[in-house]
Amino acid sequence: MRIGVPKETAANERRVALTPDVAGRLVKAGLSVVVERGAGEAASFGDDAYGAAGATPVATAAEAFGSDIVLKVQPPSVQEARLCREGSALVALFQPAAERESVSQLAARRVTAFSLALLPRITRAQPMDVLSSQATVAGYKAVLLAAVATGRFFPMLVTAAGTLTPARVLVLGAGVAGLQAIATARRLGAVVSAFDVRAAVKEQVESLGAKFLEMQIGEQAEAAGGYAKQLSEETHRRELAFLAQQVKDADIVITTAAIPGKRAPILITADAVGGMKPGSVIVDLAVETGGNCELAVAGTDVSRNGVLILGPVNLPSTLPYHASQMYARNISSFLLHVTRDGKLVVDFDDEIMRETCVTYAGEVRKS
The catalytic residues are 121, 126, 129, 132, 227
The Cα 218–Cα 201 span in angstroms is: 16
CA atoms within 13 A on the CB side of 345: 12
Long-range contacts of 99-108 (CB under 8 A, 24+ apart): 99/75, 100/367, 102/75, 102/76, 102/77, 102/78, 103/358, 103/359, 103/364, 103/367, 104/364, 105/78, 105/81, 106/76, 106/81, 106/358, 106/359, 107/359, 107/362, 107/363, 107/364, 108/362
Cβ(97)–Cβ(289) under 8 Å? no
For residue 303, which phi and psi values (nearest 5 degrees)? Answer: -115, 125
Buried b (16+ CB within 10 A) or exposed e, 94-122: bebeebeebbebbbebbbbbbbbbbbebe
Cβ(170)–Cβ(253) under 8 Å? yes
CB atoms within 10 A of CB 125: 19
* Four-CA torsion 351, 340, 116, 50, nearest 10 degrees: 170
